[in-house]
Amino acid sequence: MKKPTHHALLIRGGTVIDGTKAPRFHADVAISDGRIAAMGELDTHTADDILDASGLIVAPGFIDVHTHDDLALLSDGDMACKLSQGVTTVIVGNCGISPAPLRNGMDLPMPLNLLDIPAENRFTSFWAYLQALRANPAAVNVAAMVGHTALRVTTMADTQRTANSTEIAAMQQMLDEALRAGAIGLSSGTFYPPAAHASAEEIIAVGRPLAEHGGLYATHMRDEADQVLESLEESFRIGRELGVPVVISHHKVMNKPNFGRSAQTLPFILKTMQHQCVALDCYPYTAGATMIRTDRGVLDSRVLIASSVPHPECAGRDLDEVAAEWGLSKVEAAQRLEPGSAIYFVMDEHDVQRILAFDETMIGSDGIAAGANPHPRLWGTFPRVLGHYSRDLGLFPLETAVWKMTGLSARNFRLPGRGTLKLGSHADLVLFDAINVRDSATYATPTLTAQGISRVFVNGVVAWQGGAHSGARSGQLITRSPNIG
């Protein structure tokens, strides 16, 4: 059969970086029915629409492997913060946090309520959450994990202990249902109070259904500071015992005494990769952001308040300054600001660069839309890696940068037909200017749109152009089970 030479869209004259780490090459790209229909020299082809991409890179749309966009997808489906960076797919349900399954009415502890979960009309099953995503497509694709902390909070009257066998059975059952409905894995966040008392054995027992469904296990580890090596070993053991891939989320080494220890963690990760499936991601900043907390030295360095329920007027201010004004210690002031979220400057630039440059590290923003003064990673992560770290500092070639946010991510999260540009793959594309791409968001002005992202297509439909979203909602729900999705 002769291949069709008329397409819906023809992108002419661009330079393709295909997401495999291969060197860039000149090619036209044709799109029809949401897929790549042809690639190469397509001079003789025609199309309903023709786009001149000369001077631009044509790459697979970026995959944000670490997000908390679970409810933002439903409440603000335009997803400008992501499209403006070239992101076309987000992974939700990270750090043990997911909006399902949860019961109505019950109080939700931090960090679950970082998601802005309403008191009623909650998703009491994961299936219901996935149905809502299907019924209300967002501008980007989504694949969802179940949060172990959500399972705990919904199951256990008292989360300040390890789960008993009845509770474990109930959580296991909910995970199994979620995986059958299309969840791609389980995440845990033993760093956080509602899950800190969960033993590795509890997570292994709850996670039993993962292997059968091809699910993965992602973790915000128990400790990313003094006990970082022990926490890595615990995470690897959980993956080994379950027989599933492990994703180390937002890998970092925290607090001054641990600066430089990425020189220990990365070789340990690499060694473990020889005999089990391990992946990791990171964001390109020396500050993290999460709920306001006062333990384990997190307040020793600079702290910027991102949001506060009792004192919203403090968003964007330094904790030091607020504490001085109130005549309180840093810890006392932080306690008065709770519940809320903050930005913690707890990392060393050398570690960030070493982790970013580690061959197997994927890019994930860990952005949280909550609060008036979010961490700039929400709007800046991907262009910052392309511009600041790859081009300006020369940390790795642009092809590697793209691979870390596309092909590598799709492989690790098993997203079929995404992450690389080839015939037949989903037409998630970003067109950007390699010379001018850069992040604009800073700690002082965190919601500025990045520069150099020219056009973004999601499943063949233009979603971002001329510095604005098109209003299209062509994102798809990506599930593990093809027979259901």
Stretch in the footprint of Cu ion (CB under 5 A) among 41-49, 92-100, 175-183, 379-387: 92-100
Q: CB of 95: closest distance to Cu ion in angstroms?
A: 4
Stretch in the footprint of Zn ion (CB under 5 A) among 95-103, 279-287, 412-420, 428-436: 95-103
Stretch in the footprint of Cu ion (CB under 5 A) among 105-113, 366-374, 379-387, 434-442: 366-374
Q: Which of 94, 262, 341, 425 binds Cu ion (CB under 5 A)?
A: 94
Positions in 189-228 near Zn ion (CB under 5 A): 220
Positions in 283-342 near Zn ion (CB under 5 A): none
Q: CB of 65: closest distance to Cu ion in angstroms?
A: 11
**Residue 434 binds Cu ion (CB under 5 A):** no
Whether residue 370 contacts residue 307, with contact meaning beta carbons closer than 8 Å, is answered with yes
The residues with which 288 forms a beta bridge, in sequence order, are 344
Select from Cu ion, Zn ion, none the partner in contact with residue 473, using the beta carbon and a kind-dependent cut-off of 5 to 8 Å: none
Question: Measured between alpha carbons, how far is 97 from 263 in angstroms, rounded to an integer?
Answer: 30
The residues with which 87 forms a beta bridge, in sequence order, are 62
Q: CB of 194: closest distance to Zn ion in angstroms?
A: 13
Question: Measured between alpha carbons, how far is 315 from 309 in angstroms, rounded to an integer?
Answer: 10
Question: Measured between alpha carbons, how far is 325 from 305 in angstroms, rounded to an integer?
Answer: 14
Whether residue 33 contacts residue 7, with contact meaning beta carbons closer than 8 Å, is answered with no
Backbone angles phi, psi at 24, to 5 degrees: -60, 155
Whether residue 375 contacts residue 446, with contact meaning beta carbons closer than 8 Å, is answered with yes
Q: CB of 344: closest distance to Zn ion in angstroms?
A: 12
Q: CB of 16: closest distance to Cu ion in angstroms?
A: 32
Q: CB of 83: closest distance to Cu ion in angstroms?
A: 20
Stretch in the footprint of Cu ion (CB under 5 A) among 43-51, 255-263, 308-316, 361-369: 361-369
Q: CB of 94: closest distance to Zn ion in angstroms?
A: 6
Select from Cu ion, Zn ion, none the partner in contact with residue 21, using the beta carbon and a kind-dependent cut-off of 5 to 8 Å: none
Question: Measured between alpha carbons, how far is 344 from 365 in angstroms, rounded to an integer?
Answer: 15
Q: CB of 310: closest distance to Cu ion in angstroms?
A: 24
Q: Which of 64, 234, 366, 428 binds Cu ion (CB under 5 A)?
A: 366
SS3 helix, strand, coil % of the chain, rounded to 5?
30, 20, 45
Residues 336-375, one symbol each (x = binds Zn ion by CB under 5 A, - = not), give ----------------------------------------
Q: Omega into 99 within 30° of 0, i.e. cis?
A: no
**Residue 95 binds Zn ion (CB under 5 A):** yes
Q: CB of 194: closest distance to Cu ion in angstroms?
A: 15
Dihedral over Cα of 342, 67, 20, 270: its sign: positive
**Residue 219 binds Cu ion (CB under 5 A):** no
Q: CB of 366: closest distance to Zn ion in angstroms?
A: 6
Q: Diameter of the chain by CA atoms?
A: 79
Q: Smaller CB distance to Zn ion: residue 220 or 375?
A: 220
Q: Smaller CB distance to Zn ion: residue 250 or 455?
A: 250
Question: Measured between alpha carbons, how far is 477 from 362 in angstroms, rounded to an integer?
Answer: 21
Site size toward Cu ion, by CB under 5 A = 3
Select from Cu ion, Zn ion, none the partner in contact with residue 399, using the beta carbon and a kind-dependent cut-off of 5 to 8 Å: none
The residues with which 457 forms a beta bridge, in sequence order, are 429, 462
SS (H, E, C) 174-229: HHHHHHHHCCCEEEEECCCHHHHCCCHHHHHHHCHHHHHHCCEEEEECCCCCCCHH
Written as six digits, the tokens of 427 are: 């037409």
The DSSP letter of residue 426 is B
**Residue 51 binds Zn ion (CB under 5 A):** no
Q: Smaller CB distance to Cu ion: residue 172 or 286?
A: 286
Q: Smaller CB distance to Zn ion: residue 20 or 258?
A: 258
Rounded alpha-carbon distances, angstroms, from residue 353 to 79, 220, 349: 28, 20, 6
Q: Smaller CB distance to Zn ion: residue 167 or 281?
A: 281
Burial profile 345-379: b = 16 or more Cβ within 10 angstroms, e = fewer:
ebbbeebbbbbbbbeebbbbbbbbbbbebbbbbbb
**Residue 95 binds Cu ion (CB under 5 A):** yes
Stretch in the footprint of Cu ion (CB under 5 A) among 150-158, 192-200, 365-373, 400-408: 365-373
Q: Which residues bind Cu ion (CB under 5 A)?
A: 94-95, 366
Q: Which residues bind Zn ion (CB under 5 A)?
A: 95, 220
